[in-house]
Structure 1
Amino acid sequence: MSFCDEVRKETDLYWEGSFNHPFVKGIVDGTLPVEKFKYYMMQDAYYLKHYTKILSIAASKAQTNEDIMYFLKSAKFINEAELELHRTVFKELDVTDEEVENFDPAPAAYNYVSHMYNAAHNGDVGEAFAAMFPCPWLYQEIGEKYQDAKPGIKLYEEWIALYSDPEFKKSIEHQKTMMNRFAEKQPEKTLIFKRHFEKSCYYEWKFWEMPWTLENWQKEVEQYEFV
């Protein structure tokens, strides 16, 4: 069994939690309140901005020209294409300049990004990629699972179409090959790779919970009773 097959099986609880999360299901059936989607998109823009930087860190640690070019091209693609999509969607969601200026990442988004920075700065290219890979892989599986959905809302239909694109699946297959290669070359780091991967799977689930509950720093404290 390849590393990717093994780690996918071991983290299936988080994947099923994402597939069946009410936020995801709300996109699929068109019942998700638009304000929750707006909240998610703003947090996702923050995440992608930093994901681009982490890809660049991975490129700086890569050992082959092929890997260096892959990470740099991926960073360029996300910066130019996906963030442009967010800017377009922001207009449709009536995100104001003031909201962008005063934006503060929610705990889940901040912690997820911090986790990836930690893996990238303190580990090698394999560790960085193990922390980064669950995001695109999960979104590809969500897109494929719900590709026939008809939510009836333009923004939600475009979101599903983006991640169910066959070209996106080809990219994920290439990334699986990369991750398996990193794991095969450093079998002594298998446990470290798995831990980074699992934490990111957890944070992916939290990324749905975050907009569903409109999570913020104050709410995190309010759930506890302090004496």
Structure 2
Amino acid sequence: MTGFCEQAWQHTGTLQRAVLEHPFNEELAAGTLSRDRFQFYLAQDARYLVGFGRALAVAAARAPEPDGLTFFAGAAHEAVVVERALHESYFREFGLDEAGLAAIETSPTCLAYTSYLLAVAQAEGYPELVAALLPCFWVYQHVGTSILRRGSGGRGDSANPYQAWIDTYADEEFARSVDAAKAAVDAAAAGADPATRERMLGHFVRATEYEWMFWDSAYRMEAWPTTHLR
């Protein structure tokens, strides 16, 4: 029998293709993405990861088995500490200091996605929460490995200014984290009733939609439409 994760991935096939084909990721793969767009993305991602890390910590606290506790606790640390180091290396390269970073306002999509995950952590159970968290792992791995497979941004391609980002998410260690997240979700689904599994699928789909929206908002350098009304 096909596991929940495989079914959820097949269910979101159109979305997954749209993520790969989005101009942000096409240009990131080619190394032609504008620095302003990537810088805007990094600022949003740094803020998103704080909320993501908090949701991961809730998943760790609710995990029914020690393996889940240690994985999600470790993932929370990775999100807040390790991935932040990747952001900061680019910020230094771009000459973006704290004042410059603060001048980039949190986008509506970034706030919405982060708030969504924290709402699931607050109002839903462990199975629904881990299903909502999984796309952030899996979609990023899919983007990184797909770029390498098709020959753009190949590992060690010093000509691509975004190579460090590509290598991070195409890395074998990150793949092991994705596999652990998938195993936790499949285990939660295996012990869930049909109604819970349906909610899990709904959250997986919604979070995958937010992944597409996050890159789209970065490409558009999304601003609040009410800025002029403040």
Q: Same fold (TM over 0.5)?
A: yes
Q: Contact 1:140–1:164 (CA<8 Å) still a contact in 2?
A: yes
Q: Which residue of 2 aligns with 1:4?
A: 5
Gaps of 5+ in 1: 223-227
**1:24-43 deviation digits (Å, cap 9, x = unpaired):** 00011111111100000000
Q: Which residue of 1 aligns with 2:171?
A: 165
2:16 matches 1:15: yes
Pairing partner for 1:174 from 180, 199, 207 = 180
- Identical-pair percentage: 27
One-letter amino acid matched to 1:115:
Y
- In the alignment of these two chains, the number of paired residues is 222
One-letter amino acid matched to 1:174:
A
Whole-Å separation in 2 of the counterparts to 1:136 and 1:153? 26
- After superposition, the CA RMSD in angstroms is 1.9
Q: Which residue of 2 aligns with 1:104?
A: 105
How far 1:70 moved relative to its partner? 1.3
Q: Which residue of 2 aligns with 1:46?
A: 47
Between 78-87 and 132-141, the greater mean CA deviation after superposition: 78-87
How far 1:219 moved relative to its partner? 7.3
Q: Which residue of 2 aligns with 1:126?
A: 127
Q: Contact 1:30–1:152 (CA<8 Å) still a contact in 2?
A: no
Gaps of 5+ in 2: none
Q: Which residue of 2 aligns with 1:26?
A: 27
Pairing partner for 1:184 from 183, 190, 208 = 190
One-letter amino acid matched to 2:20:
F
**1:23-76 deviation digits (Å, cap 9, x = unpaired):** 000011111111100000000000111111111111122222221111111111
Q: Which residue of 2 aligns with 1:56?
A: 57
Whole-Å separation in 1 of the counterparts to 2:59 and 2:228? 35
Change over 3 Å in CA distance of 1:31–1:102 after alignment to 2: closer
Pairing partner for 2:152 from 149, 158, 161 = 149
Indicate the SS of the match to 1:146.
helix
Alignment TM-score, normalising by the size of structure 1: 0.91
Whole-Å separation in 2 of the counterparts to 1:133 and 1:122? 18
Q: Which residue of 2 aligns with 1:35?
A: 36
Whole-Å separation in 2 of the counterparts to 1:152 and 1:30? 10
Indicate the SS of the match to 1:162.
helix
